[in-house]
Structure 1
Amino acid sequence: MATKHFMIPAALLLAGCLRSTPTRDAWTNDASIEFPHFFGQPAVEVGADGGTVELNGTVLHALEAAAADFLGPQDANTPCVDRRESHRYRVIQRQGITFVRMDEDPRACGLTVPALHSGAQYAVGSDGRILRRLRDGEPDGSLMPTDAGPGILVPTSEVGRSFDAPDGSVPLPFLQAPSLDAGTGGRHGP
């Protein structure tokens, strides 16, 4: 009898686990979309000359979508380097796509250099859907590798050898003069 009363809650719990979990808005990573060169020409900085700048809703929506995806939700406990106001943004619109480039601004947090891989590029459609995302450090799937040619066969006896200059013409700097050995205090070298 006790087993029957235990089976009903267990069945309901199991049925709840089988239900699919909701996911965030679907986006595609369309590698055919090529990102523009964001630093190919100087950008006009908002507020640099005190002039008026106008953003349309599509640009604002693209900025919001990219920032939300890259930086996540924001609250009072969000570290300075992960805050939206601690980043610099560049925007280019082409062929109905808004391209957004985000980079950490270390000066906003009292730092001198940004963190490694602290930026990203986004291609956002006019409906606000992310079409492509490329975070710094990720391989760019749109770039096809080029063939390096037939190559040169290296004999097994030479693999890993680094005693001679790579092209044989100039000796390597650390092989030119004797220097102090850090471990014994004695000199070593030619």
Structure 2
Amino acid sequence: MSVAWRALPAALLLAGCLRSTPTRDAWTNDTSIEFPRFFEQPAVEAGVDGSTVELSGSVLRALEVAAADFLGPQDANTPCVDRRESHRYRVVQRQGVIFIRIDEDPRACGLTVPALHSGAQYAVGSDGRLLRRLRDGEPDESRVPTDAGPGTLVPTSEVGRSFDPPDGSMPLPFPDAGTGARQGP
């Protein structure tokens, strides 16, 4: 009987490993969706001067989806800068898509400037599906690079060449890369 009791926890552990792990809802990074200019117009801030602001359920769900994706799960040990209440949210709704801009609010944590790349933009469908995400610092694949023109060809003999002093009268005042000795006066 004691062998069966020892085998039971092992069987439960093995059964738990065999279950497929839950995955996030499927989403596509639809680069054909262009984000609006969130700061083009002044925003109406909720809760200022006792004004009433009404959010639809689909907007609230879109905010939850974006915040959960950007900031992850929250608990009592979540650092201040990663908390949902330490961020500012801008929402623009166009043609069945809810666009959300999330930015760190450094004042919420007693800071003066936000961290580098501390924001993101989201496009969420009215059904709650994440359609597009663009975190600050990531390349925007929806923007096609413009051609800078034909440019100027550089001869192979010039690639990697050190240049002479600007007027030829004295060496530049920088250390020589090979010896470390100063070249200038």
* Superposition TM-score, scaled by structure 2 size: 0.77
**Residue 73 (structure 2) pairs with residue 73 (structure 1):** yes
Q: Which residue of 2 is the match for residue 154 of structure 1?
A: 154
Q: Is the counterpart of residue 54 in structure 1 residue 57 in structure 2?
A: no
Bigger shift: 61-70 or 144-153?
Answer: 144-153
Residue 89 of structure 1 aligns to which amino acid in structure 2? Y
Q: Residue 37 of structure 1 aligns with which residue?
A: 37
Q: Which residue of 1 aligns with 2:4?
A: none
Which residues of structure 1 form unaligned runs of 5+?
1-8, 166-170, 172-177, 182-186
Amino acid in the other structure paired with 2:81 = V
Partner Cα distance (1:162, 1:107) in 2:
48
Give structure 1 regions of 4+ aligned residues with deviation exceeding 4 angstroms. 15-20, 160-165, 187-190
For 1:163 and 1:112, how far apart are their aligned partners in 2? Answer: 44
Q: CA offsets per residue over residues 92-126 of structure 1, 9 Å max, x none? A: 00000100000001111111111111100000011
TM-score using structure 1 length:
0.75
Match of 2:131 in 1: 131
In structure 2, the residue matched to 1:141 is 141
Percent identity between the aligned chains?
84
Aligned amino acid, residue 138 of structure 2: E
Corresponding residue for 1:26?
26
Q: Evaluate the alpha carbon distance shift between residue 68 and residue 164 of structure 1 in structure 2; reply closer, same or farther with a 3 A threshold.
A: farther
Change (3 A) 1:54 1:151: same
Greater mean alpha carbon deviation, residues 83-92 or residues 131-140: 131-140
Amino acid at match of 1:150: P
- Map 1:179-190; keep pairs closer than 5 Å: 189=184
Aligned-residue offset at 1:72: 0.6
State the Cα distance separating 1:48 from its structure 2 match: 2.6
Please state how far the C-alpha of 1:159 moved relative to its aligned partner: 3.2
Q: 1:83 to 1:157 in 2, by over 3 A?
A: same
Task: Sort the Cα spacing of 1:157 and 1:72 in 2 relative to 1 into closer, same or farther, 3 A.
Answer: same
Question: Could you say if the C-alpha distance between residues 164 and 114 of structure 1 is closer, same or farther in structure 2, counting changes exceeding 3 Å?
Answer: farther
Any stretches of 5+ residues in structure 2 without a counterpart? 1-9, 167-171, 176-181
Q: What is the Cα deviation at residue 50 of structure 1?
A: 2.3
Q: Which amino acid aligns with 1:47?
A: G
Shift of 1:136: 0.7
Q: In 1, distance between residues paired with 2:155 and 2:148?
A: 19
Relative distance call for 1:160 and 1:50 in structure 2 (3 A) is: farther
Q: Secondary structure of the residue that 2:48 maps to in structure 1?
A: coil
After TM superposition, the structure 1 stretch with the greater mean CA deviation from structure 2, 78-87 or 156-165, is: 156-165
Supply the AA of the counterpart residue of 1:45. Answer: E
**Residues 4-49 of structure 1, C-alpha deviations (whole Å, 9 max, x = no match):** xxxxx9xxx6x98676433111111111111000011111112233
Please give the root-mean-square deviation of Cα atoms over the aligned residues, in Å. Answer: 3.1
Question: How many Å separate the matches in 1 of 2:33 and 2:143?
Answer: 11
Query: 1:40, 1:131 → 2: CA distance?
Result: 22
| Letter paired with 1:146 | T
Number of residue pairs aligned between Structure 1 and Structure 2: 168
